[in-house]
Structure 1
Amino acid sequence: MATQRALPQSKEALLKSYTTRLKDDVKSMLENFEEIIKLAKGENDSQLSRMTQCEQDTYEMHVRAANIVRAGESLMKLVSDIKQYLILNDFPSVNDAIIQNGKLFRTKQVECDQKLASLRDDMAADLYDLEEEYYTSIYK
């Protein structure tokens, strides 16, 4: 299994390591599965007693099944690493999202400014009417 380095890798080297990990894990799963199938056939002629041979085959099947699980977990880690790489290094889509959000917020700002200006004009007209009514009123 590949380990992460402290220094950042180039994109090509990282993709090559991902490809290598993928091939190694799939190969390991396939080889272990094939060996389990061979063991399940039980065609081994050996000098061991039948019971001893069964125990040995059972143990080997357990080990190979654990190897398949380990390779599967490694594949899941690989998928997680690829997702993380895409999330952290997908600058074009991040930039597009930032630009799109910027446009959306500018549009909202213009809408709010227009509504506020309209509200200000309405309030000024109403205030003018109220002042006029107040100053012409006999009840002041």
Structure 2
Amino acid sequence: MSIPKQNIIKEKKNKFVQNEEEYNKRLDVEINQLVDSFDHIVRASKIGDNDKYRVFQEEYLINCMSANIIRSAQSLLSLISELKQSILLYDYKSLNSGILSRIETIEQEKLTINNRLMSLQSDIRNNLKELEDVHYSSISFDMNDINNQNNEEIKPEIKPEIKQEEKKEIKQEVKQEIKQEVKQEIKQ
């Protein structure tokens, strides 16, 4: 893995740890408030000799504590809902494993494609070499045939009295004609 990917993963882990700590704190606070409120309700509901003022005061305390219990329960339910959403949306382990498996499959595909390209390149190189060999060998055969034909055509025309210089000139002319014919054949 590269360094930027590791940094991103570390940042996400740190964020997840911070969120986890925040959720744990919220959970502890809400549960403590729920237990404290329930404890106050139980203490206030003891039967005893109380005057009307004390009864109204306990009734008000019980109403407040029951409201606190309801609020804590709603807060816990919303916390559960947030946790479910975070598991569905931000399940980093499964997301990371999915991403890593996708990266691995892409790397494998890349390797197979590179191997195919290398084999195709070597096949093309070999075929090109064979074609060049065949082409150049056919040109050399054609040149030999042309030389033989030209030599046969020239021989009857050559007289024994021809000087050496004239022979050289004739050979050069023949070579030039052969080259021109070969060039024409190559173009075709």
TM-score, L = length of structure 2? 0.41
Map 1:59-74 to 2 at 5 A.
59-74=60-75
SS state at 1:41 partner: coil
Q: Which residue of 1 aligns with 2:85?
A: 84
Count of aligned pairs between the two proteins: 87
Please tell me the root mean square deviation across aligned C-alpha atoms, in Å: 2.5
Q: Which residue of 2 aligns with 1:16?
A: 21
After superposition, the Cα gap between the structure-2 partners of 1:44 and 1:32, relative to the gap in structure 1 and judged at 3 Å, is farther
| Cα deviation, residue 16, structure 1 | 0.1
Structure with higher Rg: it is: 2
Q: Distance in 2 between matches of 1:44 and 1:13?
A: 51
Deviations 1:26-78 (A, max 9, x none): 00000011111111114587xxxx11111111011000000011000000010
- Structure number with the bigger relative contact order (C-alpha 8 A, sep ≥ 6) is 1
Q: Distance in 1 between matches of 2:93 and 2:26?
A: 27
Q: Distance in 2 between matches of 1:52 and 1:93?
A: 60
Q: Distance in 1 between matches of 2:64 and 2:34?
A: 12
**Percent same amino acid among aligned pairs?**
24
User: Which runs of no fewer than 5 residues in structure 2 stay unpaired?
Assistant: 1-11, 103-188
SS state at 1:73 partner: helix
Q: Distance in 2 between matches of 1:62 and 1:11?
A: 38
User: Which runs of no fewer than 5 residues in structure 1 stay unpaired?
Assistant: 1-7, 100-140
Query: Given residue 35 of structure 1, which amino acid in structure 2 is its aligned partner?
Result: H
| Cα deviation, residue 91, structure 1 | 4.6
Q: Distance in 2 between matches of 1:24 and 1:91?
A: 27
